[in-house]
């Protein structure tokens, strides 16, 4: 990743963090049943960006991470943020956790943990998201996300 791309991702992360935090304290955020998961979006994006340039992450996994980063940034996705607001990040979050779940099986835990800035345990967080992903975005979108990452 070039310095320009790194700065662009850092800028996206900062803007996303402010946007999500502001939304979370609004009435809409407080009343959204998925707000605790939506609050994970900035931390997951940050982790993806750090792992994609970490030399200890296998190249095959970096491709999945890069795809998840591009998906976060893209205005075109399965649940568009422009229409749904922060709830539109739910598919980005699920895609990120599927990518991370794959990375976790092929990368030493300390590599993932050194880049995680979230408050909860990373492995528990990924497990929690994957446990509710079907309910959060629906089985149809889950199948599409798995297909995008090269899964079944």
* Domain map (residue ranges) of the chain: 3-148
Q: How far is residue 84's CA from residue 90's CA, in Å, rounded to a whole number?
A: 10
**Tens-place pLDDT, residues 29-82:** 999 999 999 999 999 999 999 999 999 999 999 999 999 999 998 888 888 888
CA distances from 44 to 27, 31, 48, 118, 152 (A): 24, 22, 6, 8, 23
Query: Which residues make Cβ contacts (< 8 Å) with residue 35, sequence separation at least 6?
Result: 24, 29
**Tens-place pLDDT, residues 111-146:** 999 999 999 999 999 999 999 999 999 988 888 888
Specify the pTM: 0.88
- Give the residue carrying structure tokens 């320009």: 4
**Tens-place pLDDT, residues 97-118:** 999 999 999 999 999 999 999 9
pLDDT at 11: 80
The Cα angle at residue 82 between residues 126 and 41, in degrees rounded to 5: 20
Residue 152 vs residue 92, higher pLDDT: 92
């Amino acid at each position: 990743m070039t310095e320009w791309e790194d700065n662009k991702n850092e800028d996206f992360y900062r803007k996303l963090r402010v946007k999500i935090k502001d939304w979370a304290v609004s009435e809409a955020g407080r009343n959204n049943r998925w707000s605790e998961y939506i609050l994970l979006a900035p931390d997951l994006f940050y982790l993806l960006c750090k792992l994609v340039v970490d030399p200890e992450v296998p190249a095959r996994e970096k491709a999945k991470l890069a795809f998840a980063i591009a998906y976060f940034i893209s205005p075109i996705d399965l649940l568009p943020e422009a229409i749904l607001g922060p709830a539109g990040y739910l598919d980005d979050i699920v895609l990120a956790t599927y990518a991370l779940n794959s990375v976790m099986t092929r990368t030493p835990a300390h590599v993932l943990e050194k880049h995680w800035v979230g408050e909860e345990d990373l492995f528990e967080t990924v497990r929690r998201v994957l446990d509710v992903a079907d309910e959060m975005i629906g089985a149809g979108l889950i199948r599409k996300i798995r297909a995008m990452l090269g899964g079944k």
